[in-house]
Amino acid sequence: MNTEIPIWRIKYYPKELKEFCGRDSIKETLQQIIKQKNFPHLLFIGSEGIGKTTLAQLFAKEFLGNNFDANFKLIYANVPLSDDERNQAKSEAYISTSKIGSIAGKRITTPAFIQVKVKPFVQLKVIGDAPFKILIVKNFESLGSDQQGFRRLMEIYGSNCRMILITTKVSNIIDPIISRCQIILISRVKRDRFKDLIIEIAKNESLVIDDTVIEALYKVSEGKISKAIDLLQLCSISGKTIDMQKLYENSQRLQNDLVKNLLLMALQGDFPKSREMARKIISNYKYDSHEVFTLLLKELNKIPLNEFARKKLINLIADSDFRAIDGRDIDIQISALLSKICLFSEYL
């Protein structure tokens, strides 16, 4: 194992578009776009954790070439703004100079997220000889009603900056946005390409793993490359031979340890740290809200609590899981649950 890069997920992270595992037809489409040096706004659609953001970043890097650093930005639509950023957005509001109509003399404010995160980047001219800048917006559906404001920016600054929007819930994106984008559907990697990658990693790390275990790894990881590599590395700690028992034991351990620490932190009343940990778990391991709530419930049942406390906490988790069904923002729902657990911890 390379001591300079101990985390395998980073060590085997693709550096070029051609190294991205599988999805050959999509890579061909993106390679053609790179040759043409032009493309419309793009909408990447696919389930959590299958490589949409990685693919978009690799594409943007090859498209922009040496001008990548100066003309590229990645933002997360589901990450709340800080107080300073919200205050900045308010300070940049202006009074309408119109003398007639409903907005005459009113204070005009651009949605805070767009004003602080998006507008400053798309307004600046392209640096170097790149045809335009590239902005990637992950979890775009989280913008909600602010999507109308984003649509206007797509129209005004489209010649200066192309947007790549990434989502798992296309139903939560307004039609005017969808109609302005070329849609790219991204599926999870196929078994044969997944197997090739795992065999390559096993060879490099001197692991012994057979086809049956690789098939089980594909099912356990749900075809998510980063999750599979993390699990493979965890299994390798106790020996170079990877068998079924070791795979399932470590799969359970990986999930349980992370979520257990998150729950214990919330029960200690530390909301900022528990929210930060939850965001890292979701970002690194691509869990959806239902998976997080299910794992929290499983770990909750292992903690010694009185009957009243256990029932109360189960009810809080169930309520948050119900609220998440209709597509509300995952960060808001999990943060709300953690805040309620932290408040309840004062009575434990």
- The pLDDT of residue 89 is 66
Q: Is position 270 within any domain? A: yes
> For the chain, how many structural domains are there in total?
3
Average pLDDT in the 201-215 region?
Answer: 93
Cα distance between residue 231 and residue 213, in whole Å: 12
Q: Is position 285 within any domain? A: yes
Q: End of a domain among 207, 236, 254? A: 254
Which percentage of the chain shows pLDDT scores above 70?
90
Residues 178, 206: one domain?
no
Q: Which residue has the higher pLDDT, 182 or 144?
A: 182
Q: Is position 312 within any domain? A: yes
Q: Which residue has the higher pLDDT, 164 or 111?
A: 164
- The pLDDT of residue 4 is 53
Residues 162, 69: one domain?
yes
pLDDT tens digits for range 112-166: 888 888 999 999 999 999 999 999 999 999 888 889 989 999 999 999 999 999 9
Which percentage of the chain shows pLDDT scores above 90?
52
Residues 228, 340: one domain?
no
Residue 164: which H helix or E strand, with range?
strand 161-167
Residues 126, 28: one domain?
yes
Question: What radius of gyration do the chain's Cα atoms show?
Answer: 23
Average pLDDT, the chain: 86
Q: Is 181 helix (H, G, I), strand (E, B) or coil?
A: strand
Tell me which residue of 313, 320, 314 sits closest to 337, measured CA to CA.
320
Average pLDDT in the 247-255 region?
Answer: 76
Q: Is position 97 within any domain? A: no
Q: Name the pLDDT band for 108 (thresholds 50, 70, 90).
A: very low
pTM for this prediction: 0.71
Sequence-distant (≥ 6) Cβ neighbours of residue 331 within 8 angstroms: 78, 79, 80, 142, 279, 282
Q: Which residue has the higher pLDDT, 6 or 307?
A: 307
Residues 166, 61: one domain?
yes
Please tell me the number of Cα atoms within 13 Å of 348 on its side-chain side: 21
Q: Name the pLDDT band for 2 (thresholds 50, 70, 90).
A: very low
Residues 176, 210: one domain?
no
Q: Is position 155 within any domain? A: yes
- For the cut 60, the answer to whether the pLDDT of residue 109 exceeds it is no
Residues 129, 238: one domain?
no
Residues 178, 215: one domain?
no
Q: Which region among 205-209, 234-238, 329-333 has the lowest average model confidence (pLDDT)?
A: 329-333
- The pLDDT of residue 103 is 46
Domain harbouring 274, CATH code? 1.20.272.10
pLDDT tens digits for range 51-75: 999 999 999 999 999 999 999 999 9
Q: Name the pLDDT band for 330 (thresholds 50, 70, 90).
A: confident
Domain harbouring 219, CATH code? 1.10.8.60
Q: Is position 94 within any domain? A: no
Q: End of a domain among 169, 185, 201? A: 185
Q: Which region among 5-14, 32-41, 69-78, 137-146 has the lowest average model confidence (pLDDT)?
A: 5-14
Tokens representing 168?
């798992």
Q: Is position 8 within any domain? A: no
Handedness of CA 84, 289, 146, 138 (dihedral sign): positive
Domain harbouring 152, CATH code? 3.40.50.300
Domain that holds residue 247: 191-254
Please tell me the number of Cα atoms within 13 Å of 338 on its side-chain side: 26
Paired strand residues for 94: 108
Cα distance between residue 98 and residue 307, in whole Å: 63
Q: Which residue has the higher pLDDT, 104 or 177?
A: 177
Residues 278, 330: one domain?
yes
Sequence-distant (≥ 6) Cβ neighbours of residue 336 within 8 angstroms: 320, 323
Q: Which region among 79-93, 205-219, 290-304, 316-330 has the lowest average model confidence (pLDDT)?
A: 79-93
- The pLDDT of residue 110 is 64
Q: Which residue has the tokens 């992370």?
A: 258
Residues 36, 171: one domain?
yes
- For the cut 60, the answer to whether the pLDDT of residue 96 exceeds it is no
If you write DSSP's letter for every residue of 55-91 in order, what string do you get? Answer: HHHHHHHHHHGGGHHHHEEEEETTSPPPHHHHHHHHH
Residues 304, 320: one domain?
yes
User: Which of 46-50, 162-166, 297-301, 342-346 is predicted most confidently?
Assistant: 162-166
- The pLDDT of residue 88 is 74
Q: Is position 130 within any domain? A: yes
Average pLDDT in the 331-340 region?
Answer: 90
- For the cut 90, the answer to whether the pLDDT of residue 206 exceeds it is yes
- The pLDDT of residue 97 is 47
Residues 250, 269: one domain?
no
Average pLDDT in the 211-227 region?
Answer: 90
Paired strand residues for 165: 43, 137
